[in-house]
Each structure stands twice: as structure tokens, then as C-alpha cells.
Amino acid sequence: MRTLYISDLDGTLLNQHGEMSDVAAEMLNRSLELGVSFSINTARTPATVFPIMKNVNLNVPYSMMNGVLVYNPIQQEYLKVHTMSPETAMVVLGIIKLHKLQCFLYTMEASEVCTYFDSVESHSLNKFRNERIQKYDKKFKEVDDLSICTSRGVIYFCLRERKELLEGLRRDLQAVKGAHSRFYPDIYNSEWMYLEIYSEQASKADALNMIKEWGKFDHIVGFGDAENDTDMFEMCDETYAVANAAQEIQDLADGIIPSNEDYGVPRYIRKVLHDELNDKGNA
């Protein structure tokens, strides 16, 4: 039986600072050396995923931006990129502007993810941008008007504001054909919520199905902590929530493992691998 272990990042595999600890990376690498197939499924972008996971020797394609991108680390190429049509992107941008909100707009251009903005009035987005620049050296491109980017292969819109500022926008977006959105708390700052908008063809479940077919895996074990992991859980044969997970995810999971701070995911994989090796040794 070919088993794939797949994990969310923030709140699940990463620590409370949004980092991959040396201990967790070492534990995962030991399991990978012994033949474990491991992947990740995250809302993060390549600009942060690549440096975060640089010390883990991933050997299976993984998903970023809620399933918008599927990336093969061995070949260093994107296997799937979900773009929005220019018309849909323009409608989404128009609704955002109608609500007098600012966003980051992401495009895929020549196999590179580009991030654009046309305003830094939003305190939370300005803080987000500065954090990414300082921590990951992420590049942001300023333009006079984001509408000029809607024909460049739009893959994502990202907003981060207080809940009451985003609820009306979220409702209006539900009527936009071709677009899907995720609305969830920033686990590192409870003051803000994320609203992320992307092609209706993309999802963590769709990405996982593609990875499953790529590796001919017949058993999937998933790990998560938040609402945006629910569609991934539905595709898994076994699911585990870290101890710090939202109650909704704990209720859906087949079991609860130690928290992200206690290396729950790598510890669980190591234990399963240890038990399997003992069973073979005793056979």
C-alpha cells in the first residue's frame, strides 16, 4: 500500500512563529530517508513556502495558495496553475474597490508569481507587506491601478482586515461566476481576518487528488488545524488534528495528535514508521 502523508503548514506543521523548527525538519528528513512520502497543502505563496521548507527534503509535489498551485520540488516546476479569466478578475477587483478596500493581486508570469499593489492605505496589508519583505525578502510591485494587471494571468487576491470590513465584500463575491473565496482568521493576530479569492476550479481537495494520481497513492493521511483544511480532510482516508486545532477540525478528525509546538505531525509519522519497522522485524 502506497501511503502519502500530507499536512497544512500554519498552525499544524509550523510553530507559533510561523517557522519550521530545526527539530521538526530533522524528524521529517529522517522519515523521508526511510521511504516516507510527505507533502504539504497550504494557503501560503511560493515566496514564503520555499524559504520555510528549504531544510526539508520534500520528494512529492505539493500545493500552495489553497490549491491554486501544485509544485514539483524534484523537477522545480509547476504541475498546475489555476488562473482567473481577465473578465472575472476585473469583476472581483471592481467589487473590492466598491467596498473601498485594498488588496494584493497575484499573477503567474513566465513561471514566476508576481505580487502587485496600488495602495498602502491599509494598515494591516502594509504590515503584512513589511513583514514579508523583512523576513523573506519577498518582492512587491507597485502600480498606479491594479486593473492593468488583470490580463497578466491573475491567480489570487488577498485581503487582511477586521472581520466587519470584509463580511459585506464576501457576500457580494458569492455572486461572481468563476471565483471562489476563503474567509478565515489570521492565527498570528486575532484582530484580522484573511479573505482570499481565486479560481473556482482550485481547491485543496483538487490539488490533493492531482498529487494522489501523480504518485499512485492509495492511502492518504492528512493533518490540519483550521476550517480551510476541511475539503482536504474529505479527500483523506485518515485525518488527524493537532491539539491546538479549532474544535470544528478536531470534531472532523479521526484522531488528535500533539500540538504544532510539540512537533505533532513529525512525531506521529515517526511513530507509525517505527511501528511498521518493528512489525517487519518481528515477522
Q: What stretch(es) of the chain map to CATH 3.40.50.1000? A: 3-77+203-282
Give me the count of residues in the chain: 283
Band the pLDDT of 224: cuts 50, 70, 90: very high
Q: What distance in Å separates the CA atoms of residue 229 and residue 53, rounded to the nearest whole number?
A: 19
Residue type, 251: D
- pLDDT one-digit tens code per residue, 109-132: 999 999 999 987 899 999 999 999
277 pLDDT tier (thresholds 50, 70, 90) = low
Does pLDDT of 278 surpass 70?
no
- The grid cell for 66 is 489553497
Alpha-carbon Rg for the chain in angstroms: 19
Alpha carbons 80 and 277: distance in angstroms, whole number: 35
Q: What is the dihedral of CA 108, 39, 239, 3, to 10 degrees?
A: 130
Reported as a single tens digit per residue, the pLDDT across 23-76 is 999 999 999 999 999 999 999 999 999 999 999 999 999 999 999 999 999 999
User: pTM (2 decimals)?
Assistant: 0.93
Look at residue 178 in the predicted model and tell me its pLDDT. Answer: 96
Q: Which fold has domain 86-199?
A: 3.30.1240
Where, residue-wise, is CATH 3.30.1240.10 in the chain?
86-199
* Cross-strand bridge partners of residue 5: 38, 221
Distance CA 98, CA 89 (A): 14
Longest Cα–Cα distance of the chain, Å, equals 68
Question: Cell numbers at residue 9, please?
Answer: 503548514
Residue 21 burial (CB < 10 Å; 0-12/13-18/19+)?
Answer: middle
CB 83 within 8 A of CB 153: yes
pLDDT digits (tens, 9 = 90+) for 167-198: 999 999 999 999 999 999 998 988 999 999 99
Burial class (CB in 10 A: 0-12, 13-18, 19+), 247: exposed
* Options 1.20.1640.10, 3.50.90.10, 3.40.50.1000, 3.40.50.10420; CATH of 3-77+203-282: 3.40.50.1000
| CA-wise closest residue to 196 among 120, 123, 124, 103 | 103
Kindly provide the residue ranges of all beta strands, DSSP E only, lying in the chain, ordered along the sequence. 3-7, 37-40, 62-64, 69-72, 77-81, 104-109, 112-117, 141-142, 154-161, 179-185, 193-199, 219-224, 238-242, 255-257
Taking residue 212's Cβ as centre, other Cβ atoms within 10 Å add up to 19
